């Protein structure tokens, strides 16, 4: 199964595409979609939409794993990220790709084995699990790969098999 993990945002959106077969994950492509700093926000959302629809068309994922929103202290940034996430969800829905959402703690648990793992621990485990020579850059790309791994592990769990 080809799984596209997406770390949502509006300025830098990380993505990672993996192939998951028989419990093994192989990285296929990763990187980041960026929008121009200083551009009007609606224009940035338009660029994000166009880039995401192109990415989905080019990569042809069978599933998308996206991080649920986590509001920290800056509500304004959180609202902008929510707008970007909505654009990403729309692009995925229009591409008819099944969408699966995971909380940050679910991703940490699936990748590092601990729901409160540090960002560096998750990034290093992502590197190890995918047998990469270095931690993927930018950090957002590593987050995208971690989301894809999370979905690969979640979809093959015994609990997933018990769902009606």
Which are the catalytic amino acids? Answer: 7, 67, 140
Around 28, how many Cα atoms within 13 Å sit in the side-chain half-sphere? Answer: 19
Cβ 52 vs Cβ 87: under 8 Å: yes
The CB density around residue 70, as the number of other CB atoms within 10 Å, is: 10
Nearest to 150 by CA among 45, 18, 11: 18
The CB density around residue 42, as the number of other CB atoms within 10 Å, is: 9
- Burial class of residue 146, CB neighbours in 10 A (0-12, 13-18, 19+): buried
Q: Hey, what are 32's tokens?
A: 């980041």
Pairing of the two strands 99-102 and 24-34 = unpaired
């Amino acid at each position: 199964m080809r799984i596209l993990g997406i770390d949502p945002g509006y300025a830098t959106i990380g993505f990672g595409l993996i192939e998951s077969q028989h419990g093994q994950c192989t990285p296929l492509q990763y990187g980041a979609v960026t929008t121009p700093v200083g551009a009007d926000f609606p224009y940035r959302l338009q660029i994000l939409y166009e880039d995401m629809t192109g990415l989905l068309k080019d990569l042809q994922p069978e599933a998308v794993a996206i991080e649920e929103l986590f509001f920290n202290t800056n509500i304004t940034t959180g609202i902008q990220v929510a707008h970007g996430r909505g654009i990403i969800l729309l692009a995925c829905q229009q591409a008819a790709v099944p969408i699966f959402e995971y909380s940050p703690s679910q991703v940490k648990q699936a990748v590092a084995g601990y729901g409160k793992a540090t960002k560096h621990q998750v990034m290093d485990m992502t590197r190890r699990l995918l047998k990469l020579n270095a931690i993927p850059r930018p950090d957002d790309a590593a987050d995208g790969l971690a989301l894809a791994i999370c979905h690969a592990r979640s979809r093959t769990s015994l609990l997933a098999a018990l769902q009606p």
